[in-house]
């Protein structure tokens, strides 16, 4: 009797298991799936850059010399004309003294001598003129020979030429004359060369680097100081070239300096380089920061989020629900009335974790989490709600962030 009851129980269990298996087989396999929802969406490119001035001035020496003084250091603010360093150049100082001495010689000795020479030549001319006139009268009175008279006339001509030469010589040495102008130009040139031994700032800005110390021998072509010009501040960001499609001038961005994580500041894209760095596969993007926070420093590391797209309401699906993307389209498994259907969808904003679907889905639809699931179109499927992966924040990638 007991054995009969045991057999009956086992038979009932077997029938129940068979019925459950048949029911499960009829309903299809249980697969993880996502329910499509509509939500606000913001697409950003996340990267790391550095603070950069609009331009930098490299200051060097135009002459060779030894550094006597260095008057600035890194971080000092300078204005045009401020002295950065002073060089010793004995040969240039000697050249100035030589040019000044030549000018003084012209003004104090050569010119007075020329004036005296002119007075002497004019006196001789006057004497020669009187002698020539006297001999003409004597010749007319036939008291002297013609030869004696002609000698006096010739002497007058020679004296006149000498006077004219003395007059021209004085004129060449007079105030404002070409000779004095040339002498003054030589003095100015020598002083200009000497002035180059005082190295001054040509622009207003902040000293970034110094490469000169007292005792150093410096030569033209060597950069002694680098100055970041005052003006608008930029953030220079090298972005992966695959992000070029979504980047545009004028896009807004939010920046966070690594040294001040609690003090974010806004920026905007104002330049996208026309060329790609072939070594790194990146494109340089410049962000304008206006106004610039006071805590920013040159070359400071900054994390950047560039907003490349925004939707007030978008149909969004996780990327693992999409098959390989072909341009702006992809395919996925749509679950409708418990059956799997292959559906082609149009894509909008894309990211590493989430992608916008612009056509082919609507809010409330269920899609399989695995786009590569081996199913037959029309096959029954039971959905198991799955949790989408969190959006990554990988630098130089294109994550989609949901509000």
213: buried, middle or exposed (CB in 10 Å: 19+, 13-18, 0-12)? exposed
Residue 177 has pLDDT above 70, yes or no: no
DSSP state of 176: T
Q: Buried (b) or exposed (e) across 317-345, using 16+ Cβ within 10 A?
A: bbbbbbeeeeeeebbbbbbeeeebeebeb
- This prediction has a pTM of 0.53
| More confident site: 20 or 325 | 325
**Among 77-86, 174-183, 323-332, which is the least confidently predicted range?**
174-183
Per-residue confidence (pLDDT) for residue 23, from 0 to 100: 44
DSSP codes joined into one string, 247-279: --TT-EEEEEETT-TT--EEEEEEEE-SS-BTT
Query: For residue 84, what pLDDT is reported?
Result: 92
- Residue 108 gets which letter from DSSP? I
Provide, rounded to the nearest whole percent, the portion of the chain with pLDDT above 70: 80
pLDDT (0 to 100) of residue 386 = 74
Helix (H) or strand (E) holding 134: helix 111-140
Phi (first) and psi of residue 194, to 5 degrees: -65, -35
Nearest to 23 by CA among 380, 335, 385, 384: 380
* CA distances (Å), origin 353, targets 60, 194, 345: 52, 66, 17
Confidence of residue 243 (pLDDT cuts 50, 70, 90): confident
140-152 confidence digits (pLDDT tens):
888 888 888 788 7
Terminal C-alpha separation, the chain: 70
Confidence of residue 174 (pLDDT cuts 50, 70, 90): low
d(CA 132, CA 139): 10
pLDDT in tens, 263-293: 999 999 999 999 998 899 999 999 988 888 8
pLDDT tier at 301 (50, 70, 90 boundaries)?
A: very high
Residue listed under structure tokens 């010399």 = 65
Question: In the predicted model, is pLDDT for residue 242 greater than 80?
Answer: yes
Residue 293: the pLDDT is 86
Q: Please tell me the predicted confidence (pLDDT) of residue 238.
A: 93
Which helix or strand (DSSP H or E) is residue 16 part of? helix 2-27
Phi, psi at residue 400, to the nearest 5°? -105, 125
Tokens standing for residue 156: 């007058």
In Å, how far are 6, 154, 206, 235, 335 from 56, measured between CA atoms?
94, 75, 9, 14, 60
Q: d(Cα 308, Cα 248) in Å, to the nearest integer?
A: 8
Outline where DSSP puts E strands in 250-365: 252-257, 265-272, 282-289, 301-318, 329-336, 339-350, 354-359
State the pLDDT confidence band at 17, using cuts at 50, 70 and 90: low
In this prediction, residues 285-308 reach a mean pLDDT of: 87
Mean pLDDT of the chain: 79
Of residues 202, 175, 271, the one with CA closest to residue 232: 271
140, burial (CB in 10 Å: exposed 0-12, middle 13-18, buried 19+): exposed
**Residue 374: how many CA atoms within 13 Å on its side-chain side?**
0
Task: Report how far residue 56's alpha carbon sits from residue 292's, in angstroms, rounded to the nearest whole number.
Answer: 17
Of 17-21, 76-80, 333-337, highest mean pLDDT: 76-80
Backbone angles phi, psi at 91, to 5 degrees: -65, -35
Rounded mean pLDDT of 369-373? 75
**What is the Cα 372 distance to its own chain's centre?**
47
- On the question of pLDDT at 393 being above 50, the answer is no
Question: What is the helix, strand, coil percentage profile of the chain, to 5?
Answer: 35, 35, 30
């Amino acid at each position: 009797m007991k054995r009969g009851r045991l057999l009956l129980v086992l038979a009932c269990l077997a029938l129940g298991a068979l019925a459950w298996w048949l029911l499960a087989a009829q309903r299809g396999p249980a697969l993880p799936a996502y329910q499509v929802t509509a939500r606000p969406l913001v697409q950003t490119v996340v990267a790391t850059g550095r603070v950069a001035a609009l331009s930098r001035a490299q200051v060097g020496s135009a002459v060779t010399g030894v550094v006597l003084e260095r008057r600035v250091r890194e971080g000092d603010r300078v204005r045009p004309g401020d002295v950065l360093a002073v060089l010793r150049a004995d040969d240039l100082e000697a050249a100035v003294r030589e040019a000044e001495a030549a000018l003084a010689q012209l003004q104090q000795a050569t010119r007075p001598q020329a004036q005296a020479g002119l007075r002497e030549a004019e006196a001789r001319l006057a004497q020669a003129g009187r002698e020539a006139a006297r001999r003409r009268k004597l010749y007319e009175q036939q008291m002297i020979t013609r030869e004696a008279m002609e000698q006096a006339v010739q002497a007058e001509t020679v004296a006149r030429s000498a006077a004219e030469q003395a007059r021209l010589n004085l004129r060449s040495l007079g105030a404002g004359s070409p000779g004095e102008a040339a002498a003054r130009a030589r003095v100015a040139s020598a002083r200009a060369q000497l002035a180059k031994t005082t190295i001054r700032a040509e622009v207003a800005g902040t000293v970034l680097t110094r490469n000169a110390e007292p005792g150093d021998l410096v030569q033209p072509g060597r950069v002694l100081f680098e100055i970041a010009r005052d003006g608008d501040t930029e953030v220079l960001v090298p972005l992966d070239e695959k992000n070029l499609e979504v980047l545009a001038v004028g896009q807004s961005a939010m920046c966070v300096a690594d040294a001040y994580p609690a003090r974010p500041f806004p920026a905007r894209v104002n330049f996208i380089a026309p060329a790609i760095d072939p070594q790194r596969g990146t494109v340089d993007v410049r962000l304008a920061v206006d106004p610039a926070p006071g805590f920013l420093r040159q070359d400071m590391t900054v994390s950047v989020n560039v907003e490349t797209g925004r939707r007030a309401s978008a149909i969004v699906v996780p990327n693992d629900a999409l098959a390989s993307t072909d341009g702006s389209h992809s395919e996925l498994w749509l679950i409708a009335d418990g059956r799997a259907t292959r559906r082609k969808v149009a894509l909008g904003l894309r990211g590493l974790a989430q992608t916008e679907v612009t056509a082919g889905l609507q809010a409330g639809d269920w899609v399989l989490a695995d786009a590569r699931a081996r199913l037959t179109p029309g096959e029954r499927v039971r959905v198991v709600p799955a949790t989408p992966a969190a959006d990554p924040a990988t630098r130089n990638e294109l994550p989609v962030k949901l509000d």
